[in-house]
Every structure is written in structure tokens, then in C-alpha cells.
Structure 1
Amino acid sequence: MTLPENTQLNSALAPKRHSPTKKLVASGRLTSELVSKRWQVLDDEDVKDALLDSVTTEQMDVYKNNIEHFIGTVKVPVGVAGPLRINGTHANGDYFVPLATTEAALVASYHRGSKLITAAGGASAMLLSEGVTRSPGFAFSSLIEAGQFVAWIMTQFDQFKQLAENTTRFGRLNDINVNIEGNHVYLVFEYFTGDASGQNMVTIATNAIFDYILKTSPIEPNYAFLDANLSGDKKPNAHTLRNVRGKKVTAEVHLPPYLIEKYLHTSVEKMVQFGHMTTTGGLLSGSIGINAHYANALAAFYIACGQDAACVAESAVGMTRFEQTKEGGLCASVTLPNIMVGTVGGGTALPSQRACLELLGLYGSGQSRALAEVVAGLCLAGELSIVGAFCAGHFSRAHHKLARGK
């Protein structure tokens, strides 16, 4: 098929090879001189005043390990939900949970769900397992070579463990999972990462192993890459639904009918019916896992508390279930196998983010498992609140009232 000539369209879509009139100063360093030079290029004083305010200028140095090409900070409104009572294997108490979002009705919804859970005596929460993965891939000329390579790999665990743990004070290599696909071999290295979320930690550790493999393997791969997309890093995936990436937590609460009526203005029967219908809808849509809106809680919590917000893509995979108990109440549960949180490292030490973790009482070493259980309880609160809103016919009305100010 020959397309008609369109000079205007061709001109719009054709490559433009002239040099840009303005160029940014690119540097991983953060100095006031470099920031000033960037703003000279950007040349907008009103925008500069909004992003590079006096507090940001004063605190500028604290961001040096978290950002490149720094020009300022963005202020996201922070609300608080709670108290949320958690009766966990690591988290025990009433928590006020900071949530950073620009979505009206979100904090109000999680606050309502938190009050309901607390009124019922709290949510039981249990950390089931933890581990962060990285998955290099190796291509060979034949399946025979791939098999020989795997046979050698199986003799190297102790060496790999030593290499990995020489790169980190806190991480340790727990396991290696081998996957053969034709003449391709995928190795999934799983690590314990202590109180850090751990993505950078496992990347650096795996890179040390990867370099060793390329130098010493008796079977030389045709080509190889440090990550071959089997770990599920920052992507929704079915593999970790039955396993773990980060921290796997389950939480549940038992609610008598009168509390559902008082806080959600609906009934146990309707909540269960909604669960049945939306589970089928999720299956029809090809959803990985079944939940109403874990992503809302996770994104707002991750931003407030200095977590890697892109991990919401994988963390939002999980299962919500509603069941009517023999006594006529509601058993509501959530299972999240991909909670990627830390209480040290990353963005957790930045001023606002550290303040949010301190508000929870969960900043610093020894707190990451408790933080994961609180996150699971928060997601449970959100599931109850949003399902209650749909069942009571309040969902649209709440957004209309809170988002439009009417």
C-alpha cells in the first residue's frame, strides 16, 4: 500500500538534526554551582522559586546520593490515616500512617478502614517470607552446553555466596533457582537484605558473581546479561504470587455485622457478593492476583516513607478475600508477596521521609519487618473501605464531594 504524499506530515515527523539551543550541565555531583548553572539554562524564576525554595537550598546536600542533575524538590501533600491497630509477628500497636498523594478521597478512605479495623481489635499480620532477587541470563549454542553450564553452576554455591557477601555488610545469598529454556539459562539469585529494601544491594552482589562466572565458567556463553527479566523487578508478574520478592505478608481481620453497618453502611452479605463478582471480573480482565486497589496505598505510602515508588508495579500484586464466618461476620484477608520496603538506605534518610517513618516509630535498623506488616494492614484497611463504598453506593459521591469540594 502506497501512502499519499503529505508534505506537512512528513516535515513534522522527520528527524531534526540541528543541535539544541540549550544544554543542561550533566553531573552526578550535587553542588550549588551546578544547580545554579542548570537554572541559568532553564531560565524561569517563577518555576525556580517553586522548586528551589529556601529550605531545599539549605538542605541540598542531603540529596546528593539520591538524585542526579538536581534542581529542587517537589512538595506532595501528606495526610495521616489511623490509628491502625496491628497485631503482628513483628508490628504490635496502634499506628498513624502517613500517606503522600494528590488524589482526593484516598486518605479519607484509608482512615475509615483503619478505624474499622481498630474497632474490631486490630488486624492480625504475619510476615511469611522474605527475599530479593536478581536474574542473569546466559545463551549457549546448544542445550548440551546449557546443561553442562548448569552442572558447573550447581558446584559453585559456596563460592558465589562468598563473592556476594564480600560486597555488602547486611545482605546474604540464600538460594539459586535454575531455569533452562532451550539453550538459554536463567539464574535467579535470592538474597536476604536486612532492613534495606535491597534492589541496589542485590544488583551489586549479583554483578560480582556474574563477572566471576564469565571469567571462570568452563562453558563459555555466546552472550550474557546481568538481568534477563525473570526476577520481576518493577513489573507485575505471576511468579512471585506464589513465592516472594521483598517481603511476603498476610493480614486478616474478623468483623461483626454491626461494625460493618456502623463504619461502611452495608452488610456482610453484600461485601461477600462484591468479592465474588470482582474476582470473576479480575479473571476476565487477565489480572495477576485479585485486589481492589493496593496500588493506592502502596504509592502514597512509598512516596511518604522514602521507598522506591516504581516498585508499586510489583508490590500491588496480591490477593484479597472476603468470607462469611459461621457466626455471620466477615473474615477479610489480604496477602501481598511483593512488599518492597526498607527502614534504612535509599530515600529513608531524607528529611521528610525519615520524619514519616519516625511518625510510625519504624525508622532505622530492626524495623523493616514490622513496616511490611503495617503496609499489609494498611492495604487491608483500603480494601474494606473501598468495597464498603461500592456496596453502599457511596463511591462516586465521596469522590464528588472530596475531589470537587461540593
Structure 2
Amino acid sequence: MPNNKTNKFAEVYSVLSNITEESLQQLSTSEQPLATRQPLNMYIKASTVDKRWQAIDCEQAKPHLLDQSTIDSMSSYQKNIENFIGTVKLPVGIAGPLRVNGLFAQEDYFVPLATTEAALVASYNRGALLISEAGGCSAMLLNEGVCRTPGFAFETLIQAGQFVAWATTQIDTFTDITESTSNHLTLKDLKINLEGNHVYLIFDYLTGDASGQNMVTIATNAVLEYITEHSPTKAKYSFLDANLSGDKKATMQSLNGVRGKKVTAEVHISAELVKKRLHTTPERMADFWRMSSVGGVLSGSVGVQGHYANGLAALYIACGQDAACVAESAVGVTRMELNDDGSLYASVTLPNLMVGTVGGGTGLPSQQANLQLLGLAGNGNARALAEVCAGLCLAGELSMIGAFCAGHFAKAHRKLAR
């Protein structure tokens, strides 16, 4: 027989049973005209911003979002936002110095992190200092590429096959078309996926020091226009991207390949240093990794890691990256094992780091300042930034797992967040 506790939970889960006919009427569509509208001009202009605030009619919010500093730098946001009303201020802390011994990143880095989550910067800072005290992490960029995947629908499988046969003869033309759209873009590869009477073309690009998503969109659209006009087998319909790219989502395809920049990083830490800085042992950290890896499998996780998203989101916001790309960037594998000498081996591999040091939000005032703080602003630094991201994620994994093993995880949040 169900007990009172079970009945209580049943009540919580049956909220919908208490909805009345009257309350359901609130869900009906309304034909009432909109009371106010904002200006149609989406570009940044002082007079338009003033009119938009008049439409909002919330004077108490205005000085916090449209302060004098924002007004003075308003024009710098022109290519990054529409319907502009101001800026949001977030606290920024630094973790480090984080020593990275990479193919491209070879410095001690102070890493800027923008977040509202207490204990986050403290944790990454602890991990960064631990890595640096151990001599730094080794980091290696393994691969890079950004793709767009247009899709084409045909009447029959025969037509789809005819289109594929033609498309494979057009690779040189596709290369010329795509690379003519940008001085910084290279068509790296073209793959084809045929599913029934649907064809997906997988265009894989190198985008230099830009994250590159707008770049590959423009390039692929140019090819799509060429295909529409010149293909001897006409598609019933086609789309610029048919969701095979893995854009802004965690996918097994990206885990096994690359989207953005694929990086791996490792560190060896003595048992003495683990005990001194994390108050636990390499054995216990390896135990935690084994149990949490099984937990990740049981939960259906794409990859197995602790909390890449915490560090990446904070760094992305601070440094002008596309924050939505954390959905795909925070995918990968963390591994912790016991070395023969009793020391700890720890590594991370991230195949989807969507980062850039030019373009997008990297030129905005605060974000450019943070990239300069890192020493990674401008051309020639995107690969180094990716290796720093891997080192940062490794620092976060070490600190968090150490906290769980020492029983300090809740204590740290209680101390710093309450």
C-alpha cells in the first residue's frame, strides 16, 4: 500500500490535474493589437536606441544597461547585435597562472573567466596552480575544421545517385567558389552521405584564426546557388544546412572526428603534490574516474567528462566567443589513472573547440581586452587559444574531482556562495 510520502510525491507530479477550465482559457490566442512596438531599424543609432527605450518603458532598468561607458562605445557593437538597448556587466576573475607546454601555447597564462557562479574561478584557479606546480600540462592541437552540410531531396534513389555522380566531378569548381568568398577560408574536404533519396554534402573548411561559422555559411551558400543553377539533376528542394554538421549540439559524429579544433592535454602529478594541494590521493582520484565513467555511460553521455562547460562558458563569454557553441565544445573525454610510480596521470581530449581570436565578438572592447590579457588577441593565436582551453578544462577536472574525493565539494560552495 502506498505510504503518505508516496502520495505526496504523486500530488507533485500531477499538477495538471488541478487545472481548471477557466485557467485553460488563458492559453487561447489573442487578436488584440500590440500595445507598443519597437523601431523597425535594427541598427545602432542613438536616436533609435532612445525610441526603443521609450517602447520598453522601464526607466529603472535603463541606467544599468545603458550607462555612460556603453553610450560612449555604442558604435563598436554595430556588427554584433540587433535591436540594441545596452550592455550587461558580468564579473570577471582570473585563474592561474596556468602553464601550458603546447605546440602553439607556450606560456604561463592568466585566464579570464566571466561568470556569476561562486566557487567556479576558485576551483579553476586551484587546478591551474596545481598543473603549473607540476611543471605544466602538455597540450597538442590534433586537427581542425568547420563544416556545413547542405541537404538535397530528390524524387528517387536513382536521381540521388545521378546527383552524387555529378557532384563528385565538381570538387575543383566547389573549391574555387568557396575560397573566393574569403581570403581566410580553405575547403579542406568534401564528404557525401546518401540516405534514400536524400543527399547530404559535407563541406569541411579551415577558417584560419576565426571561429568561422559565418564564413562557412557564406561559402556554402555560394556553392548551393551554383548547384541549384548548374546541376543536371534537379532537387525537389534543398537547404543550406540539413543538421548533419553538429552545429551547436553534442554529437557522436563530432566526438569521433573534429568540429572546430581538436585538442588533447595531459599532466603527471606526484602523489605528494596531490595530497598537498587536493587533500586526497591519486588512488582515490582514479577510483572516482572509474565510477564516474560508468555513470556517464549509464546516463548516455556523449563522451565522459566532469564539467568542461563551466570553464568554457566563462572563458567564451570573457573572450568574445560564441557562447552557444559550448553545447558542442563541452564534449570530450577525461581520463585519470595511477602511474607505476604512484603518481597521477590525468588527460582531457576535446574534439569540438569552437574558438577564434579574430572576428565575431573578439573585437568588442571588454572581450578584446581579455584576449590581450591572455596575450592571444588577433591573427596567429587561435590554435594557442584552443590549447589553453584544453589546459583550463584539465585544471577544472582535477580540482573538481579532487574536491569530491576529499569531501570538500559542498563545503566550497557553502563557503563561497552563501
Q: Which residue of 2 aligns with 1:33?
A: 47
Distance 1:20 1:228 in 2: 35
Equivalent residue for 1:128? 142
The yes-or-no answer on 1:101 pairing with 2:108 is: no
Q: What displacement does 1:43 show?
A: 1.5
Q: CA deviation at 1:344?
A: 0.4
Of 22-31 and 67-76, the range deviating more from structure 2:
22-31
1:315 aligns with 2:314: no
Question: What is the CA–CA distance in structure 1 between the aligned matches of 2:245 and 2:277, rounded to whole Å?
Answer: 40
Find the residue that maps to 2:73 and give its secondary structure: helix
Spell out, residue by residue over 1:279-300, the C-alpha distance to the aligned partner (whole angstroms, 9 max, x if none).
0000000000000000001100
Q: Deviations over 1:283-328 (max 9, x none)?
A: 0000000000000011000000000000000000100000111111
Counterpart CA distance in 2 for 1:87 and 1:357 is: 19
| 1:110 paired residue among 102, 105, 124 | 124
Is residue 381 of structure 1 aligned with residue 391 of structure 2?
A: no
Q: Does residue 1:263 correspond to 2:281, yes or no?
A: no
Distance 1:232 1:191 in 2: 14
Could you tell me which of 188, 198, 220 is aligned with 1:174? 188
Partner of 1:353: 367
Matched residue, 1:402: 416
- 2: CA distance between counterparts of 1:46 and 1:18? 28
Supply the distance in 2 between the matched residues of 1:254 and 1:293 (Cα, whole angstroms): 20
What secondary structure, in the 3-state scheme, does the structure 2 residue paired with 1:344 have? coil
User: Which region of structure 1 is more displaced relative to structure 2, 198-207 or 5-14?
Assistant: 5-14
Tell me the SS of whatever aligns to 1:84.
strand
Paired residue for 1:206? 220
Q: 1:27 deviation in Å?
A: 2.4
The question of 1:21 aligning with 2:39 is answered: no
User: Are 2:57 and 1:43 aligned?
Assistant: yes
Q: How does 1:199-278 map to 2 (within 5 A)?
A: 199-278=213-292
User: What one-letter code is carried by the residue in structure 1 that aligns with 2:293?
Assistant: T
Q: Which residue matches 2:8? A: none
Distance 1:28 1:21 in 2: 20
Q: How many residues align?
A: 402
Shift of 1:254: 0.5
Equivalences for 1:173-192 in 2 at 5 Å?
173-192=187-206
Structure 1 gaps of 5+ residues are: none
Q: 1:152 to 1:101 in 2, by over 3 A?
A: same
For residues 315-346 of structure 1, the C-alpha deviation after alignment (integer angstroms, 9 at most, x for no partner) is 00100000111111111000000000000000
Residues 353-382 of structure 1 show CA distances to partners (whole Å, capped at 9, x for unaligned) of 000000000000000000000000000000
Name the counterpart of 2:349: 335
CA distance in 1, matches of 2:154, 2:338: 54
TM alignment of 1:290-329, pairs within 5 A? 290-329=304-343
Partner amino acid, structure 1, of 2:237: Y
Q: For residues 55 and 96 of structure 2, what CA distance do their matches in structure 1 show?
A: 45
* C-alpha displacement of 1:103: 0.2
* Distance in 2, Cα, partners of 1:168 & 1:20: 42
Deviations 1:156-215 (A, max 9, x none): 111001100111110111101111111111111000000000000000000000111111
The Cα RMSD (Å) is 1.2
Alpha-carbon distance in structure 2 between the residues aligned to 1:355 and 1:232 = 31
Shift of 1:11: 2.1
Instruction: Tell me how far 1:148 sits from its aligned partner.
Output: 1.0
Partner of 2:12: none
TM-score (norm 1): 0.98
| In the alignment, structure 1 residue 89 sits paired with structure 2 residue 109 | no
Task: State the partner residue of 1:280.
Answer: 294
Give yes or no for the alignment of 1:119 onto 2:136: no
Q: CA deviation at 1:6?
A: 5.1
Distance 2:173 2:402 in 1: 53
* Deviation of 1:4 (Å): 12
Q: Which of 348, 355, 358 matches 1:344?
A: 358
Residue 160 (structure 1) aligned with residue 174 (structure 2): yes
